[in-house]
Amino acid sequence: MKNLIIWAVILGSAGYGGSKMLLHHRVGEGVDQAVMAVSPFVNIEYSGVSSTMSGELTIDGIEARISGFDDPIYIDRLGIDTPSYFSLLSLADLRQNIQSPDDVIPEYFGILIEGVQMRISADYFKKAYAASVEKVSADALKEDAARCTGKYGFSPDTLSNFGFSDQVVSLTAHFRRGHGDFAVEMTSNVEDMWTIDANLNLAGDMVSEMAKGPRFRPRMKDMRVVYEDQSLNARVEKFCGQLGLSKEEIQAAQLEKLRYMGEVYGIEFDEYVIDPFIEFLGGKSTLVVTARPSEPISLSQINLYKPSDVPALLDLSAEAL
């Protein structure tokens, strides 16, 4: 009996090791083909492929250089997350099972992008910021209140004044299948600045909805977003103070940034968001925003409503913790 157990362990380990080698070989071949395909636009090197019994499959140690730019981007890990190692094996055979993707796609899957490191002095970083504010007037960008609060996004110069030399960004997104609905859970983090956890419940079947491609119109059932400040508020307050703004002016500038952000998304925030936001600025570390519309609403159609009506339409509220 003892020998039987030993042989079972040996055979099981050999089978796992063999399947893992095959999985990594298939993924490595696919990655190498993709690297070759994008080589005219970006040069990519990576250290290897990893997988876990818990269902993660990642490409590790990535260094990318965009054509026309000198500075590299580093990424610790880029990959997917599934319920188990066996789900990875099923996804590896997706091309053979393409006639029935509903049977192949697991109950949940995630996208992992971890440790994206960018120098704020990098040429591509500066160009990306310039492109993001190309429709903003030069005078508006020069306003001290807009600069220190990042009303139009934080410039490389402002980030440098915050004490940063690099931005390290991570993002994970998980999609969970339900019965007639599905959930999207996202976590984004900028090291030493903030973390955002967002959970959205959407109406419809996940596979059929996403198969619509560009015609996909998510209908939100409810939403919960948790914003955790890691040091950004203090850095903003310090830099704004160095520029000569009083505490009252800093708060007004932060509220103006909130108003502008709402304008971009077609929302005029009311007191149920503004008052908790002021409380959050006053020293709280977490801001929780929730939306619970009476019935699923298409996010792409929010701009059809008056901005002042949207908070009530979404039953939007916030809480500072």
CB 279 within 8 A of CB 186: no
**Secondary structure class of 284 (helix, strand, coil):** coil
CB 253 within 8 A of CB 146: yes
- Across all residues in the chain, what is the average pLDDT? 85
- Give the tens place of pLDDT for each residue, 46-78: 998 887 877 888 999 999 999 999 999 999 999
pLDDT above 80 for 211: no
CB atoms within 10 A of CB 315: 13
Across 172-179, average pLDDT: 88
pLDDT above 80 for 15: no
CB 225 within 8 A of CB 196: yes
d(CA 236, CA 242): 10
Across 73-85, average pLDDT: 88
Q: What is the pLDDT of residue 104?
A: 56
Q: What is the pLDDT of residue 7?
A: 34
d(CA 64, CA 192): 24
The CA-to-CA distance between both ends of the chain, in Å, stands at 58
d(CA 310, CA 272): 12
- Give the tens place of pLDDT for each residue, 150-160: 999 999 999 99
**Secondary structure class of 3 (helix, strand, coil):** helix
CB 297 within 8 A of CB 264: no
pLDDT band at 85 (very low <50, low <70, confident <90, very high): low
CB 175 within 8 A of CB 109: yes
- Give the tens place of pLDDT for each residue, 124-173: 999 999 999 999 999 999 999 999 999 999 999 999 999 999 999 999 99
CB 31 within 8 A of CB 49: yes
Q: What is the pLDDT of residue 16?
A: 42
Nearest to 240 by CA among 176, 116, 151, 300: 151
CB 321 within 8 A of CB 286: yes
Q: Which two tokens stand for residue 233?
A: 């508020």
